[in-house]
């Protein structure tokens, strides 16, 4: 993780850069705040940050900037997860609504027919 942070910090041309102690301290804060993040989360975060999704760099990149950007990424991440859950629920909805009708589905009819034949 240290290597990712170091490469990320070196990506920017800033007046002051983070020294190894600051990078380690920031990593500790990130792990404490976001223990549920996986490597894929950090990879996506760094990519999005480099593209400027969370704001511009005005001469500095440090722990505070990174933590603020991670807070924005966390909101983005939660929103995406919520949207995916809503899409999955919406995809499931037609089959649930079909169950509330007065008829049965074709699959239910076949199952009923199969049971009827085995009970003869």
Render pLDDT for 61-108 as a digit per residue (tens, 0 to 9): 888 989 999 999 999 999 999 999 888 888 776 665 656 666 777 888
Give me the torsion for CA of 65, 32, 40, 70, rounded to 10°: -20
| Per-residue pLDDT at 6 | 81
DSSP secondary structure code for residue 82 in this structure: H
Round to whole Å and give the CA distance between 13 and 17: 8
Collapsing DSSP to helix, strand or coil, 46 comes out as helix
Inter-residue contact 35 to 11 (CB < 8 Å): no
d(CA 55, CA 48): 10
The C-alpha angle with vertex 91 and arms to 90 and 97, in degrees rounded to 5, equals 75
Q: Decide which of 112 and 71 is more confident.
A: 71
């Amino acid at each position: 993780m240290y290597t990712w942070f170091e490469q990320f910090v070196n990506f920017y041309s800033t007046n002051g850069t983070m020294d190894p102690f600051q990078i380690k301290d920031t990593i500790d804060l990130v792990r404490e705040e976001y223990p549920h993040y996986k490597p894929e989360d950090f990879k996506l975060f760094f990519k999005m940050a480099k593209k400027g999704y969370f704001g511009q760099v005005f001469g500095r990149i440090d722990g505070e900037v990174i933590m603020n950007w991670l807070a924005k990424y966390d909101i983005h991440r939660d929103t995406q997860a919520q949207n995916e859950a809503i899409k999955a629920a919406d995809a499931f909805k037609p089959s649930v609504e079909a169950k509330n009708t007065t008829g049965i589905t074709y699959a239910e009819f076949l199952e009923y027919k199969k049971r009827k034949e085995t009970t003869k």
